[in-house]
Amino acid sequence: MLGGGLILLAGVLILLAGRFPLPLGLYTALQGPPMILSAIAAYCGITVALASIIDRIDGVDAVAAYHHVGRWFWWFGQLTALLACTLTLIGFFLPGLGNGVRWGAAVSTTFCSILLIAFLDQAKPATRQQLPCGKNTPANEMLKTCLALILMAVAGMLIYQRYADYRAREQGYAASDEAERRAAKPWIHEFDTLPGQLSVDELKSRVALGGHRLSCFSRAELEPQNRLQEDDTHDCWTNIGEAWGIPAHIVVFGFGQHGLRSQMLRFPHASWPLVEAYLERLGQRQAQTFGVDPSSRRPISGWRIDSGLVFSSAPPSGEEVVVLWNAKDELARLYCRDELSPKAAKKQYGYTVPVAALWPEINCRDFR
């Protein structure tokens, strides 16, 4: 019981960790599932406390609320708290792991820990605990009702607190981003002026010439879902109010082992006609499409330029316009392996136009 209580306490501490100064890596590891799981663990702990208190008050007339209800919440609370702690530790000490590996390791560790706790509990000598005698009087009934209401109120306050914190944080981010956009200078950098394989420092220097300052983070400092591509080594971004004379929101850069490999810009929904017209002037639209946007179910178009391919699609109602650029060298590394294996039953990346047809200067044999 003591071990389980400590585990639940750890889950509650994770839930409240955002209120304390923490290292950036630990703060990043706490975001997402650990926070949600720790909240569930805290609510399970409240339910266990309620069931135990009811049994104590009822005394000899107890209906074994803990046995019938509380113990299941006790075990589930331990499970979620352990999983939250394990995900946090793995995210902090092994930040480079992908989501699948991270969850697999966390679930395996949690399962083994639960088995160990169960074994240790069974190994303890059985002790018979005598419940204090009591009467199921109207006063006791009223006390139970009051305790239940108090615990429900505490649970509700915890839920509201988390929601209020989330809303305040999101509103703060939105206000800060909007202030940065209003103060930002127009984005004037064409895709071809920021070619692939630039280093983070080189990109920062070039962007600084236009009056912009990038915020850059390494792979260890970002969750996979916050990277432009899951295996990015670094990601950089800055808020912008305008790009090439078109209202815009943000520009993001992704880096791989060979340097800069992708760039993404987001525009307001109303900017789509201007964005499409700009892309038509920028490069050569490819005859084929490149898949379907999962949110709008509309085809993704591609435009060839000297430095790579630019992709975009008409956004669904109310959604942002997304423009993605991939460096031609990075595309060659991905697609040339298929071109050199014509007998493959299925192309790994589903790309059918030979790279040399887009950029004759590229020799696929250089990218084996």
Lowest mean pLDDT among 74-78, 177-181, 256-260, 326-330: 74-78
Lowest mean pLDDT among 61-75, 97-111, 153-167: 61-75
- Identify the pLDDT of residue 287: 83
- Identify the pLDDT of residue 284: 87
Alpha carbon distance 40, 17 (integer Å): 15
Contact 206, 189 (CB under 8 A): yes
Lowest mean pLDDT among 66-80, 145-159, 170-184: 145-159
- Identify the pLDDT of residue 220: 80
Element (H, E) at 119: helix 99-123
pLDDT at 1 over 50: no
Task: Parse the chain into domains and list their residue ranges.
Answer: 2-123+132-180, 191-367
Angle (CA) 118 120 121, round 5° = 65
Instruction: Please report which confidence band the pLDDT of residue 79 belongs to, taking 50, 70 and 90 as the band edges.
Output: confident
Q: Residue 71 contacts by C-beta under 8 Å, 6 or more apart in sequence?
A: 48
Residue with tokens 């009467």: 135
Average pLDDT over residues 244-270: 94
Closest to 300 measured CA to CA, from 286, 308, 289, 309: 289
Q: What are the pLDDT digits (tens) for 122-136?
A: 665 555 444 444 455
Give the long-range contacts of residues 172-177, CB within 8 A, separation 24 or more: 177/239, 177/249, 177/250
Closest to 188 measured CA to CA, from 241, 238, 243: 243
pLDDT at 324 over 70: yes
Contact 256, 232 (CB under 8 A): yes
Instruction: Please report which confidence band the pLDDT of residue 35 belongs to, taking 50, 70 and 90 as the band edges.
Output: confident
